[in-house]
Homo-oligomer: A and B are copies of this chain.
Amino acid sequence: MRVLKEENSPDIKSYLMEKKAIVDKALYDYFPESADIEPDIIKAMQYSLFAGGKRLRPILCMAGAAAVGGGESDVIPIACALELIHTYSLIHDDLPSMDNDDLRRGKPSSHKVFGEAVAILAGDGLLTEAFSIMTVPGITERILPESLIQVINLIADAAGFRGMVGGQVIDVQSEGKPVDISIVEVMHKRKTGALITASVLSGAIIGGGDKSRIEAIAEYGNKVGLLFQISDDILDIEGDSRVMGKKAGADREKKKNTYPALLGLKKSKQIRTKLLDEAIESLQNFDEKAWPLRRIARYIIERKK
């Protein structure tokens, strides 16, 4: 425990704050207030996009680029696109026919504010805009066209029915039914892990990582993705509703299939620690440029929201 605490030194917090500010600024630039479009759809997209996310996926993308010696600023459009996709998934997950959540990050969820139709369309709009941002004219001045196409494919697969969408289907359909832990693992890996893996991996690809680095980063992403969702499961039990901006204990109330629900808290924490060790281990051949990735893995366990 002592080692963990020491390594979670203030600089990772500064790092996360600094990178979040860069991402927030870029996102604002993509969605200026004065956009000459139907106000409601823009407002609904902005509402969810600027509701106070941690920007973990964009930051992982930037840290992935940095870890292989690439330039962080080159990947910003990809980083922002990842946040748009993540935000769309939250809007759709909260819908009455899905998780029926009224609160998200301490604020009324999109469909409570804009109605169900506009919320669905705001999600659709954010998902689609992600692919517009990644292909905006001039982007190939900074990103190799072939790498860009590879990254779009990677992200689409991670977000779609093979990944996030498929994981959400398992989630919706298994709610309240007893399932095996192997199903929960698959669900977590698809619903959360796939996009987290794609985030760090897309950064490393655009950053110019070689084959062995890319493979190591993929391994890191897989471990961290599952780590993140198990931490989320644990946070739902141990977390403070006020800090999280959403109701603690909601998973149990909805009879969600989570790691703690199936294996208990103690065993879940053991698995989490093992995943953290493996995530760090996967970066053993990386130099100090990978320090944010190493620290982010620890931060995911220690975060309060």
Which A residues form the contact surface with B (CB < 8 A)? 37-38, 40-42, 45, 88, 92, 95, 97-98, 115-118, 120-121, 123-125, 127-129, 131-132, 134-137, 139-140, 145-146, 148-150, 152-153, 156-157, 159-162, 165-166, 168-170, 172-173
Contacts and interface: CB of A to CB of B under 8 A. Distances in A.
Contact of A41 (B135, B139, B161): B161
A42 B169 CA distance: 11
A121 B170 CA distance: 11
Contacts of A40: 169, 173
In the complex, the 8 A-B pairs of residues with the closest C-beta atoms, listed nearest first: A128-B160, A145-B145, A97-B116, A132-B156, A135-B153, A125-B161, A131-B156, A125-B165
A128 B159 contact: yes
Contacts of A129: 156, 160-161
Integer count of this chain's copies in the complex = 2
8 contacts: A41-B169, A117-B169, A118-B172, A120-B120, A124-B165, A128-B161, A131-B156, A135-B156
A118 to B, nearest CB: 6
Contacts of A139: 149
Contacts of A42: 161
A121 B168 contact: yes
A92 B118 contact: no
B124 A92 contact: yes
